[in-house]
Structure 1
């Protein structure tokens, strides 16, 4: 069928000609989609504002040979404006969108789409610290993509935990026998926080100390960077958790 409808998150945009944009979209049912939105940069455009980064929309598109064409767009989540006014929210949302783009080159699932929508909604509302929202998203989306980190048993030998070392290359927490020299050490509070971020236990996440939050963020970023191979450039713009 040449025309189809889907729910999408706008991951990024590029200018095309004088008035058009190329959009990279994460859709609920059709995976990652690249499409052209004609005339959206004109002030008279009816749906240009609905197709900005971090916006969620119900779109109708025409299936093209290389790029699909957006014919209609109705807003489902106008998160972009609230996110763009705050630096921490904006950089966290950028890292989330870039990660979604990296992980879904081949295919995606509705769960990955819903996870990103939920994360952007939480950022726009200010429900939790932006870096915590990002860290939780990274752990969950890596798990959905088949790279769930081991956060209790040793990732290498399976020895029951908890353990005191974290090695991204080996898959997460490891025991002292498996930890290479120079491996980052994980104190109990940091390990508990990482498990809470993965499980979405926000009362525990919000009550965590600055030290545990900063330490977990560094370990989670290293883990995500390792498994996405090309790295997540937006992470370099994030400020340390406050």
Structure 2
């Protein structure tokens, strides 16, 4: 039997039997992990109010050493202690923020396997993203920024500064009036920007705008806690959403259930 401690965020809860729950965490030290919280659904449970979605915790758990455990099979651990580090009440109180945070949680749950600890830099990003959503007046830019930054950690950073076919600089192209007036493209297969001359050469490429490419670059380079301040029209948000949805599908095979709700949020005329 091995006791371990880590900091983690709750990303999923599933009822088990009459009083227990299976809790899925995204943790600082072990990536995605799953454990049983026994008696958590009882009225006087010692975990009351602690193991809620999106709560940040210090967790102590133990896991029996099983001879049949393999890389593909990790038995559920038993949670022995959970102490709250940070809560985000705004995520539960505001519907749009709840859906945005749920999208982040589902994204993590679908992308990472249990006990995949190969991306320790993702955990701080998750905490900062949930905090940004909770504090924001305008949440739309936060979700694509998270997608872009996570893609970077996974090795799928889209190329936005140079044509992925001929390597021409986007900045140089914009200095030429005739070229600047032509529509560039985006290729999911080559991984990013295509200049107007190369766009027709790639059958799968889609037409995009320089404004959308500018915003994607800004979202990629700006700290997640400040992306709310980036100016963007509704039409550009819709454009980058479609690009990222197709990019995620092409490279990760990812299609999320909460994405329909997220599209509504991004398309809403109101700030939220």
Q: TM-score, normalised by structure 1?
A: 0.90
State how many pairs are aligned. Answer: 240
Distance 2:40 2:165 in 1: 51
> Are 1:129 and 2:138 counterparts?
yes
Of the candidates 243, 246, 250, which is equivalent to residue 226 of structure 1?
250
Distance 2:222 2:14 in 1: 34
Give the structure 2 partner of residue 70 of structure 1.
79
Of the candidates 142, 163, 168, which is equivalent to residue 188 of structure 2?
168
Answer with 1 or 2: which has the greater Rg: 2
Which runs of no fewer than 5 residues in structure 1 stay unpaired?
none
Of the candidates 99, 118, 134, which is equivalent to residue 107 of structure 2?
99
What SS does the corresponding residue of 1:25 show, helix, strand or coil? Answer: strand
What SS does the corresponding residue of 2:205 show, helix, strand or coil? Answer: coil
Q: CA deviation at 1:157?
A: 4.4
> Are 1:237 and 2:261 counterparts?
yes
Which deviates more, 230-239 or 13-22? 230-239
Which runs of no fewer than 5 residues in structure 2 stay unpaired?
67-74, 174-183
Distance 2:38 2:227 in 1: 45
Structure 1 87/204 Cα, relative in aligned 2: closer, same or farther at 3 Å?
Answer: closer
The RMSD of aligned alpha carbons is 2.1
Which deviates more, 209-218 or 152-161? 152-161
Distance 2:42 2:62 in 1: 21
Give matches, 1:54-203, under 5 Å.
54-64=54-64, 65=66, 66-79=75-88, 81-105=89-113, 106-126=116-136, 129-161=138-170, 164-179=184-199, 180-181=202-203, 183-200=205-222, 202=226
Distance 1:208 1:175 in 2: 22
Give the structure 1 partner of residue 70 of structure 2.
none
Give the structure 2 partner of residue 45 of structure 1.
45
Structure 1 84/9 Cα, relative in aligned 2: closer, same or farther at 3 Å?
Answer: same
Q: TM-score, normalised by structure 2?
A: 0.81
Give deviations 1:51-73, integer Å, cap 9, x for gaps: 11111111101123500111111
